Amino acid sequence: MGSRHHTRDDAATAAADRHHSQVTLHVNGTPRTLTLDHRRALLDVLREDLDLTGAKKGCDHGQCGACTVLVDGRRVNSCLQLAVALDGSEVVTVEGLGDGGMHPLQQAFLDRDAFQCGYCTPGQICSALGAIDEARAGHPSHVTDPGTPSGRPMPLGREEIRERLSGNLCRCGAYPHIVDAVEDVIR
């Protein structure tokens, strides 16, 4: 991906370049306008330009979920999102959760000991928040009984939580406690 010198040192002269664009992202409620090389992924912009290092670079190929953030309210892999394509979007990272203190799901991760090394945790938390909203909006999952009616909140048992969070890998294997933490906040 584009490295720092493409975006920082050359930014002033690059604005009119066909390989750069000015992009405004509303990150955790604050508008941030940047001139970006088109190659840059949202993850790299968050971490390198905006010093928001909560979202992690695990695989950088959309396979591990460590980079999960919410874009316009929906969880996505920020490593596969080109920042230029998100002009005007609302981005929420793990740093933007909670209202002054910790978000209840962050507290539940602490209470339930839902991590060991912690590398996947910001992605797990953002993903779980997205998954909870999806279920509330009536989105089914692979393990949802097809007979469950549409247009109503989908109940989230442990099997549902596990399936809906399958895009977030935890190499420490903290999965049982992660499910416990998510169950705590949906009760």
Partner 1 sequence: MKAFAYVRAGSVEEATEAYAAHPGAKYLGGGTNLVDLMKLGVEQPGALIDVGRLPLDAVEELPDGSLRIGATVRNSDVAAHPAVRDRWPALSQALLAGASGQLRNAATTGGNLLQRTRCPYFQDVTKPCNKRQPGSGCAALEGVHRDHAVLGHSETCVATHPSDMAVALAALDARVELYGADGTRSVPAARFHRLPGDRPERDTEIRPGELVTGVVLPAATAGLPSLYRKARDRASYAFALASVAAVLRVEDGVVRHAGIAFGGLAHRPWRAERAEAALLGAAPTEAAFGHALDLELAAARPLRDNAFKVPLARNVGVDVLTRLVPPTVA
Whole-angstrom Cα Rg for the chain? 18
Q: Which of 93, 127 has the CB closer to partner 1?
A: 127
Strand-strand pairing, 20-27 and 30-37: antiparallel
Which residue blocks in the chain are alpha helix, DSSP H? 4-7, 11-14, 42-44, 104-111, 121-136, 158-164, 175-186
Stretch in the footprint of partner 1 (CB under 8 A) among 27-35, 73-81, 104-112, 176-184: 73-81
DSSP per residue over 12-40, as a string? HHHTTSTTEEEEEEEETTEEEEEEEETT-
Q: Which of residues 157-186 bind partner 1 (CB under 8 A)?
A: 162-168
Which residue from 5, 18, 99, 187 is in contact with partner 1, where contact means CB under 8 A?
18
* Residue 106 contacts partner 1 per CB under 8 A: no
Which residue from 15, 102, 117, 137 is in contact with partner 1, where contact means CB under 8 A?
137
CB 101, CB 60: distance < 8 Å: no
Task: Give how far the C-alpha of residue 54 lies from the chain's centroid of Cα atoms, to the nearest Å.
Answer: 10
Q: Which of 27, 126 has the CB closer to partner 1?
A: 126
Which residue from 116, 140, 183, 184 is in contact with partner 1, where contact means CB under 8 A?
140
Query: Residues in the site for partner 1, rule: CB under 8 A?
Result: 1-2, 18-19, 21, 37-39, 41, 60-62, 65, 68, 74-77, 80-82, 84-85, 87, 127, 130-131, 134, 137-142, 144, 146, 150-151, 162-168
